[in-house]
Chains A and B, each alone.
Chain A
Amino acid sequence: DGGITQSPKYLFRKEGQNVTLSCEQNLNHDAMYWYRQDPGQGLRLIYYSQIVNDFQKGDIAEGYSVSREKKESFPLTVTSAQKNPTAFYLCASRVRANQPQHFGDGTRLSIL
């Protein structure tokens, strides 16, 4: 079955540490997204990638970095510069503009 796989489901970060969240899709979608969701809040866009080796910052990109070396993969690195990383992170993809975004099951990141 096609879908989006995020891993790990839970992740803990120590102070000063960079951590990487994985996102893989086998839907053959061009566009991929990373969102952050805080408790009781909506989704905020971190990064967007339309094609391989191209990505665009969203509203809250500071302290985060991404890469898109393969169409299927869009990993997100939460750097030590992100001082408040505790949140639910969602990865999504879509086939083209104004089509549904398909979401992964998310990764919960907490600080140790």
Chain B
Amino acid sequence: QQPVQSPQAVILREGEDAVINCSSSKALYSVHWYRQKHGEAPVFLMILLKGGEQKGHEKISASFNEKKQQSSLYLTASQLSYSGTYFCGTPWRGDNAGNMLTFGGGTRLMVKP
């Protein structure tokens, strides 16, 4: 069962902050985050493993709450280059080893000047 992302879309002005959420109905052992620009391949952002770690990538960070079975992606002081669709991926069905992923429906982020 695929994770649920919210919001589905968000529009920001350059310099504003945003939070993207990813929730699962199943126990999570890891969460993977990717960004895809229109017509291009997804690009890896970060992986969070069980243990509540918070990781960062440029001005993008994420948290992982395994008890709540959710992860949040934080984009601070957004730049125009942050525009795109953000996907979270969680272990596919019973594959807790993280070999296969199931992806959420995506969150479309548009940053305007």
Known: A48-B100, A98-B49, A105-B41. A42 touches B2 (CB 8 A): yes
A103→B44 CA distance, assembly (Å): 9
Q: How far is the CB of B51 from chain A (nearest CB, A)?
A: 12
A25 at the interface (CB under 8 A from B): no
A75 at the interface (CB under 8 A from B): no
Query: Which of A31, A41, A106 contacts B99, CB < 8 Å?
Result: A31
Known: A98-B30, A103-B41. A41 touches B106 (CB 8 A): yes
| B106 with A42: CB separation less than 8 A | yes
B54 at the interface (CB under 8 A from A): no
Name the B residues within 8 Å of A41 (CB-CB). 105-106
Number of interface residues of B (CB under 8 A): 24
| A101 with B44: CB separation less than 8 A | yes
| A97 with B97: CB separation less than 8 A | yes
A8 at the interface (CB under 8 A from B): no
A90 at the interface (CB under 8 A from B): yes
| B41 with A43: CB separation less than 8 A | no
Within 8 A of A (CB), among B23-67: 30, 32, 34, 40-44, 47, 49
Query: Which of A43, A48, A50, A99 contacts B103, CB < 8 Å?
Result: A43
Name the B residues within 8 Å of A40 (CB-CB). 106
Query: Which of B47, B87, B97 contacts A43, CB < 8 Å?
Result: B87
Task: Give residues in B with beta carbon < 8 Å to A.
Answer: 2, 30, 32, 34, 40-44, 47, 49, 87, 89, 92, 97-106
Task: Give residues in A with beta carbon < 8 Å to B.
Answer: 31, 33, 40-45, 48, 50, 56, 58-59, 90, 97-106
A-B contact pairs, 10 of them (CB 8 A): A40-B106, A42-B87, A42-B103, A43-B42, A43-B87, A59-B102, A97-B97, A97-B98, A101-B44, A102-B44
